[in-house]
Amino acid sequence: MEAFLISITTISVAEIGDRTQLLSLLLAARFRRPWPIIAGILCATLANHAVAGFVGVWFGSLLKPRTLQVVVGISMIAMSLWTLKPDKLQQNAGATGALGAFLATLTSFFIAEIGDKTQIATLALAAAYPNLLAVVAGTTAGMMLANVPVVFLGKAFADRLPLKAIHLGAAALFMVLGVVFLMRALWH
């Protein structure tokens, strides 16, 4: 349960203002069909985070527990610093052509998540926790919690968020998690 709760909390807060959340806004404005967009986000996130989770489990199996705790702690602190730099959506990002809202969302969202901080956080969490299903379910649920309101409420919702405060809160959350993992490494 800890893996799920840490995963959902970390990702839902970190995703606010992220480029994939901005992509959700762009897709909602372009297609104005929320359900296929949400389905595309869900499928892309599940696929992307499952891959990241498997890589994380593999990586975690190569390291001794203490070393793993240190690596995860340092990666969480790095994520904290990365979170302080807000993402911007590139002008050419988003869906083009007549693929339909679902396929356009699935493809663009999957590609946008590659190397994104939420994917890297998923990898680190999967390395740290033995329950891959709980981590992937938590990170996917966190992505949905952050992106579904944007798809439904669009720009009016996004313009009202205190993004700077949210980024600071996400950075603080990653920093606390990093310190917790480093402390675990010292105590074991």
- Asked which of 21-35, 52-66, 116-130, 131-145 is least confident by mean pLDDT, the reply is 21-35
**What confidence tens digit (pLDDT) does each residue in 162-188 have?**
667 766 776 787 788 789 889 988 886
Please, which pLDDT band fits residue 157 given cuts at 50, 70 and 90?
low
CA distance 187 to 150: 42
89: left (phi over 0), alpha (psi -120 to 50) or beta: beta
- The phi and psi torsions of 84 (rounded to 5 degrees) equal -70, -15
**What confidence tens digit (pLDDT) does each residue in 97-137 have?**
335 889 989 988 898 888 788 888 999 999 999 999 999 99
Question: What pTM did the predictor assign?
Answer: 0.74
DSSP notation for 19-55: HHHHHHHHHHHHH--HHHHHHHHHHHHHHHHHHHHHH
CA distance 20 to 48: 13
Please, which pLDDT band fits residue 90 given cuts at 50, 70 and 90?
very low
Helix (H, G, I), strand (E, B) or coil at 153: helix
Q: Which of 120, 152, 127 is nearest to 49 (CA)?
A: 120
Average pLDDT estimate for 25-32: 79
CA distance 103 to 109: 10
What's the one-letter identity of residue 139? Answer: T
- In terms of pLDDT, which residue wins out, 73 or 134? 134
- In terms of pLDDT, which residue wins out, 162 or 54? 54
Handedness of CA 44, 50, 53, 59 (dihedral sign): negative
DSSP notation for 86-131: -----TT-S--SSS-HHHHHHHHHHHHHTT-HHHHHHHHHHHH-S-
CA distance 28 to 38: 9
Residue 176: CB atoms within 10 A of its CB come to 13
Contact present, 18 and 147 (Cβ < 8 Å)? no
